[in-house]
């Protein structure tokens, strides 16, 4: 247990940041999962609609320091490539 005043404050700050990072990471994972489900379901329209939202969330997570910059770039690159490789849906 922290004893010094500054250590107590740092512990409180650490717990707050941990909660914020956990929330951001969870939100990011959920969004990526939605996009991957659309990709696996060969739903190009849905995937193209979800991609910008997912990229935005990845960028926000990188900016907040929740995930590393390179990991964010890797996510965006792979997901974008997978969405682009989907065959277009048949015209109606």
Query: What are the pLDDT digits (tens) for 7-46?
Result: 999 999 999 999 999 999 999 999 999 999 999 999 999 9
Residue 51 has, within 13 A of its CA and on its CB side, a CA count of 17
Q: Which domains does the chain have, with CATH numbers?
A: 24-85 (1.20.58.110)
Instruction: Provide the pLDDT for residue 3.
Output: 84
pLDDT at 87: 81
Nearest to 30 by CA among 59, 14, 50, 2: 50
Query: Tell me, what's the pLDDT at 2?
Result: 76
Average pLDDT over residues 67-83: 96
Percent of the chain with pLDDT over 90: 89
Which residues, including other chains, have CB under 8 Å from residue 92's CB and lie 6 or more apart?
A: none
User: How high is the mean pLDDT of the chain?
Assistant: 92
Which residues are CB-neighbours of 10 under 8 A, at least 6 positions away? Answer: 2
């Amino acid at each position: 247990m922290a004893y010094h005043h500054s250590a107590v404050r740092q512990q409180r700050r650490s717990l707050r940041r941990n909660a914020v990072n956990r929330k951001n990471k969870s939100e990011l994972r959920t969004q990526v999962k939605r996009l991957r489900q659309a990709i696996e379901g060969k739903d190009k329209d849905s995937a193209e609609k979800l991609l910008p939202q997912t990229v935005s969330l990845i960028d926000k997570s990188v900016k907040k320091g929740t995930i590393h910059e390179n990991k964010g770039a890797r996510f965006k690159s792979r997901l974008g490539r997978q969405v682009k490789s989907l065959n277009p849906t048949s015209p109606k």
